[in-house]
Structure 1
Amino acid sequence: MIELTRLNGETFTLNALYIQQIQSFPDTTITLTNGELIVVQEKETEVIRKTVNFYKEINVLGFRKGLEGQ
């Protein structure tokens, strides 16, 4: 799960496994696998960083803990 901020300042937690697409229009817009659109304050690169970190945490990408960078 990743924590994000809506344009109105409200924070929420999103299950990053449901992210299909991230775009900047210039606001960062996240398209979920169910077609729902979410606009957030974070930059596109920040959402990507948080998503990759989440994937690493739950081992979706096959990373082994302690072996990153080797």
Structure 2
Amino acid sequence: MIKVTRLAKKEDKEFILNCDLIESIEEAPDTTIKLLNGKILIVSESANEILERIIAYKRKIYGKLG
């Protein structure tokens, strides 16, 4: 689970995302996360920031990776 910030019209809102549900991440220009269920989220973090958070989470849960 990682914390990300959803871009909203009125205010940005943080939420926790199950990173195991991510199918793809794209920057065009906003960062768009596509989930396995087809839902699309637009967040303020860059793709690299999200990737770093996923790696940190996986290391915390499963131990050192690579």
Whether TM-score is above 0.5 comes out as yes
State the TM bucket, normalised to the shorter chain.
0.7 to 0.9
TM-score normalised per structure 2: 0.84
4+ residue segments displaced more than 6 Å: none
Q: Flag structure 1 segments of 5+ consecutive residues without an equivalent.
A: none
CA distance in 2, matches of 1:38, 1:54: 20
CA distance in 2, matches of 1:18, 1:57: 18
CA distance in 2, matches of 1:45, 1:36: 20
1:1-70, aligned counterparts within 5 Å?
1-8=1-8, 9-59=12-62, 63=64
TM superposition shift of 1:42: 0.5
CA distance in 2, matches of 1:38, 1:13: 12
CA distance in 2, matches of 1:46, 1:17: 16
TM-score normalised per structure 1: 0.80
Higher gyration radius (CA): 1
What is the one-letter code of the residue matched to 2:58?
A: Y
TM superposition shift of 1:63: 2.8
Structure with greater proportional helix content: 2
